[in-house]
Structure 1
Amino acid sequence: MSKLLDPKVLMAIKELSLAAKTTIDGFMSGINKSTIKGQGLEFSQYRSYQPGDDLRSLDWKMFARSDRYYIRESEIETNISIRFLVDASASMNHKDGDFTKIDYARYLAASLAYLGNLQGDAIGLYVINEAGIFSMAAKQDYQHLARLFYQLEQIKPDKTFITPIHYKELYAGAQKRELLVFITDMYETNEEIFSFLDTLNTLKHEVVVFHLMSPNELELNFKGYSTFEDLETGRSVQIDQDKARAVYKARLQEYLEATRIKLLDRRIFYRMIRTDQPLDAALRDFLNQRNKLNV
């Protein structure tokens, strides 16, 4: 077991589905099975024989009992490919209390990857910053999951977010649509994150965005500080927190609402998470909401 996995978190989410009932390219339903009928493993229903049906699907025991031809249908189990995208730009080093944003991102990705692997899904990883995209193919086995945990542990946030010149990595794996779980602080200077998300949308992936924010960001409560430095650009600014707090919080709420709407318009599932929120509670709330929306 990776040190990134907390038994309390796993107990809270183990009975929930990450993928839920997605609708593209045979993604699984909330219980890891599609609604596609065929020669699967688990019995679903009988239906009357129709001309053109595969005779191998006839149930001869039913014929012997009823003297009628029936096709035995099963639900075909279909696994999906889930890729975790982790923002590794320098702003993810922001710290409040004992955790940086990248710490929270590691635990979040590890827990969901464990859940997906437990449900039989292929798990992959992108680590993203100005240097490019580290790509780890999606596979379904425990050794691969262990390698993914190792790569999460090695992430060292640096510089700014990715530029379009590196998007070729995204297109390289575009043959199969995936469920993409993007973990980020949404820090950008020139709409680079939204440009990135628009690229993911053109590839017809389903995208979930976890927006990480720390309590001191949300409340503008950096005790003892009056000078603030941008972790990505190095620029600094002096702020009287007490005087600026009311205006800051109002503008922050406007920004968060605008972000939510912009992602909703792109049909991207958005969830803002405070880094002081217990991970088990945050994940259980998210997974319950996701399952309800996709029923």
Structure 2
Amino acid sequence: MKNYHSLLARMNRKSLQVSMKGTGMQNGRRKSHIHGTSLDFADYRIYHPGDDIRQIDWNVYGRTNKPYIKRFQDEKEISVSILLDATSSMKQVPSKWELARELAASLAYITLSHEDRLSFAAVSTKLSFHRKGSVHNKRTFYEIVDMKEQTINESFTQSLISSLSAPSQMIVLITDGLEALSLFEESFKRLKFRNQPIWLIQLLSETEINPHLSGDIQLVDSENGKMVDVSLNNSIKMLYKKRLTQHNQELEILCATHGIRYCQISDKLDIQTIILRELAFTGLVQ
């Protein structure tokens, strides 16, 4: 098993950047637009009959001869939904599947470490759960990293909506994005009505981006398990790379059309680089 001690220690200082302010009902570590009783000063307002007289700032009263009340910024939780593509396509390349689990586990860890509420689902498996608070952060991280649930449904896009079992202030989708764009568009249209920030992280393996195989080979169709005879030469590989690039570009445009933040990463990067550099650069992690 990998040693994640350094990664976990550094992620304790990170948080997910959510464009809407915290509006949850429970206390958390995010600043809300609601004024409450945290230790962070917000502003003053004039005293009104019925206000708690203990909140009057007597120093200000002495200077202005007017009773002002200190207002503090309350801290409210947010709810984050993380949906990990666990289809056969994601599991076909071991390095990609391992990194996908590490990525989902890291984002879940950051969420819980800030006392926020997490909804996690490995789409196309039976694994899903809801948790809140830093007391669960390490256990959840290793549970996701070590998950071995069997795929029971092959389609990420068709299972996506049913996997969102709880309302949230942010949705993070982790997928290779290799399903038909029409299926993604249908899912995006349904997600749009939830009116919340959505991130799509497209994770691809280097062997998918730059296939190194050549000659007459047999490939396994990840969706149905059948063997396919393929003759790979330079022209075929160039055509494949062109189509993959076009597919990825159209997926990015589709995300932008539906207000979804898009980020593409490769399994040539390690998880610490992705969390602390790549996702920090995109603005998801701060």
Q: Does the TM-score normalized on the shorter chain lie above 0.5?
A: yes
Note the C-alpha offset of 1:44. Answer: 1.8
**Residue 117 of structure 1 pairs with residue 112 of structure 2:** yes
Q: Is the contact between residue 30 and residue 75 of structure 2 (CA under 8 Å) also seen in structure 1?
A: yes
- Alignment partner of 2:146: what SS? helix
Distance 1:161 1:57 in 2: 59
1:82 to 52, 71, 80: 80
Q: Is the contact between residue 113 and residue 145 of structure 1 (CA under 8 Å) also seen in structure 2?
A: no
Q: Name the counterpart of 1:138.
A: 131
Q: Deviations over 1:258-289 (max 9, x none)?
A: 11110111111111110111211112234323
- Evaluate the alpha carbon distance shift between residue 224 and residue 13 of structure 1 in structure 2; reply closer, same or farther with a 3 A threshold: farther
Q: Name the counterpart of 1:34.
A: 31
Q: Deviations over 1:17-69 (max 9, x none)?
A: 21x14216637xxx943351512212324424065784457424235533221
Q: Name the counterpart of 1:49.
A: 46
- Alignment partner of 1:77: what SS? strand
Letter in 2 for 1:246: M
Q: 1:270-289 counterparts in 2 under 5 A?
A: 270-289=262-281
Q: Is the contact between residue 85 and residue 183 of structure 1 (CA under 8 Å) also seen in structure 2?
A: yes
**Residue 257 of structure 1 pairs with residue 255 of structure 2:** no
Q: Name the counterpart of 2:204.
A: 213
Distance 2:37 2:169 in 1: 22
Single out whichever of 184-193 and 115-124 deviates more from structure 2: 184-193
Distance 1:144 1:118 in 2: 6
- Evaluate the alpha carbon distance shift between residue 185 and residue 79 of structure 1 in structure 2; reply closer, same or farther with a 3 A threshold: same
Q: Name the counterpart of 1:187.
A: 178
The structure that is strand-richer by fraction is: 2
TM-score under structure 1 normalisation?
0.80
Note the C-alpha offset of 1:138. Answer: 3.5
Distance 1:258 1:37 in 2: 40
Q: Name the counterpart of 2:15.
A: 17
Q: Is the contact between residue 173 and residue 200 of structure 2 (CA under 8 Å) also seen in structure 1?
A: yes
Distance 2:2 2:188 in 1: 27
- Alignment partner of 1:277: what SS? coil
Note the C-alpha offset of 1:12. Answer: 4.9
Distance 1:143 1:12 in 2: 17
Q: Is the contact between residue 104 and residue 144 of structure 2 (CA under 8 Å) also seen in structure 1?
A: no
**Residue 62 of structure 1 pairs with residue 59 of structure 2:** yes
Letter in 2 for 1:105: A
Q: Deviations over 1:96-149 (max 9, x none)?
A: xxx4322111111112222222222122211111x6x54312322424751563
- Evaluate the alpha carbon distance shift between residue 45 and residue 93 of structure 1 in structure 2; reply closer, same or farther with a 3 A threshold: closer
Q: Name the counterpart of 2:224.
A: 233
Distance 1:42 1:161 in 2: 47
Distance 2:237 2:205 in 1: 15
- Alignment partner of 2:75: what SS? coil
Distance 1:39 1:178 in 2: 20
TM-score under structure 2 normalisation?
0.82
Q: Over aligned residues, Cα RMSD in angstroms?
A: 3.2
- Evaluate the alpha carbon distance shift between residue 112 and residue 147 of structure 1 in structure 2; reply closer, same or farther with a 3 A threshold: closer
Q: Is the contact between residue 58 and residue 69 of structure 1 (CA under 8 Å) also seen in structure 2?
A: no
Distance 1:225 1:104 in 2: 30
